[in-house]
Structure 1
Amino acid sequence: MTTKEERMSFLEEMEGVRRIRQPNRADIKKPRDLTPGHLERQRAAMAKPVVDRNPLTADDVDLLTSHDVLNWQRPGVQHGVFRKLRLGQYPIEARLDLHRMTVEEARREVFRFIQDCVRYGVRSALITHGKGERNVDGVAWLKSYLAKWLPELDDVLAFHSAQKHHGGTGAAYVMVRKGERQKKENRDRNSGR
């Protein structure tokens, strides 16, 4: 209970305070009319086709099975370098897992992944695509597309199915071209500066 003194003290403190008279409803405003400029920008945005800068194609692919070995190298890659890649002797600097992705999702991710590898100076990567053993048709779909896509990327020098401890025929080692920064560092280091 409050005493008379406390109540009087409270009323003195509240002197000059007025009750806010506002309805207990949300203030809903009519949507504003769209200006001609807004309508033109909207029309232009919808009419402008989205440019797909991803060069990876998604048609005419050779179908592979779970046991097929991926094996490709660009001309000029030394035999010893490719052998070392095939045997998994390069450190894996980056990984990409395509499991549970659609072909279109995998297409986007592989393109971004290789771009990121070049940007960050990653030379050796592992892409896990799965074997497709659970597919009723026996086709390793992501593996089949990956085998088509990687040679389409100029930054990929070589790839090979991984060793068993890295996923075997359900994964691939990928060798990536040096980025401009790495090339410059090599030139500087080898020029004696």
Structure 2
Amino acid sequence: MHEDDEASLFAQEVAGIQQLQTQEVYLGKKGPQVDFDARKQAASIAQEADRNHLSQDYVEKVEPNDVLEFKRSGMQDGVFKRLRQGKYGIEARLDLHRHTVAQAREQVYQFAEDCVRHDIRVAIIVHGKGDRTPDPNDQAMIKSYINKWLRDLDSVMAFHSAQRHHGGLGAVYVLFKKSDKARLENWEKQQKR
């Protein structure tokens, strides 16, 4: 179809259309007044319901055979060394095999909350090495996010890749902060000496 044919076809279609005489525009039913305070309250409730601040955005990739390690400043070297060597008793375990990143994000956040709530100091998270994924760009995705998320959790004092008998490079030991209750009990125990 040529340009002239299109123009004449359009002219035929719009022939007989008249301009509206009214200046009024109908936008639909006029509803009740918007209660912005209620909306603000609903938004804050929704935000409170999802307190999970762990991001699924960009993550710095780690390789399947990389060692993961992190400790907060002020942490004693001896404590970190014992964690790294797997010398602390493991009180809780989270296995993330066959999880999507979104599922892992929820599980890690909830696991950390539960560990702190129940005064668990040392746990292990099994994330896998991620070296069986056919696409090299997708390898070690969960491991990469674990490396990021554990640093972003204030309750995590330190973490380190596990010893071979605990999963090696496919798992991490995690040391959580003492709860306020546990700190008080420890302080009281020290005072009685």
Query: TM-score if structure 1 supplies the norm length?
Result: 0.73
Give SS of 1:154's match: coil
State the AA in 2 paired with 1:124. V
1:63-82 alignment to 2 at 5 Å?
Answer: 63-82=61-80
Tell me the equivalent position of 1:149: 149
Tell me the equivalent position of 1:180: 180
Q: Distance in 2 between matches of 1:58 and 1:152?
A: 12
Shift in Å, 1:134:
1.2
Shift in Å, 1:136:
1.6
Deviations 1:55-112 (A, max 9, x none): 1111121112210110111101111111111111111010000111111111111111
Tell me the equivalent position of 2:171: 171
Q: Distance in 2 between matches of 1:149 and 1:127?
A: 12
Tell me the equivalent position of 2:122: 124
Higher helix share: 2
Aligned residues: 149
Give SS of 1:157's match: strand
Tell me the equivalent position of 2:192: 192
Deviations 1:15-67 (A, max 9, x none): xxxxxxxxxxxxxxxxxxxxxxxxxxxxx89x944322011111121112210
Give SS of 1:127's match: strand
Shift in Å, 1:114:
0.8
Q: Distance in 2 between matches of 1:67 and 1:187?
A: 41
Structure 2 portions without partners, runs of 5+: 1-37
Give SS of 2:187's match: helix
Give SS of 1:117's match: helix
Q: Distance in 2 between matches of 1:172 and 1:140?
A: 14
State the AA in 2 paired with 1:140. A
State the AA in 1 paired with 2:96. L
Tell me the equivalent position of 1:96: 94
Q: Distance in 2 between matches of 1:109 and 1:122?
A: 16
Shift in Å, 1:192:
2.1
CA RMSD of aligned residues (A): 1.7
Deviations 1:136-175 (A, max 9, x none): 2332010000000001111100000001111111000000
Bigger radius of gyration: 1
Query: TM-score if structure 2 supplies the norm length?
Result: 0.73
Q: Distance in 2 between matches of 1:191 and 1:86?
A: 30
Q: Distance in 2 between matches of 1:85 and 1:54?
A: 26
Structure 1 portions without partners, runs of 5+: 1-43
Q: Distance in 1 between matches of 2:67 and 2:53?
A: 24
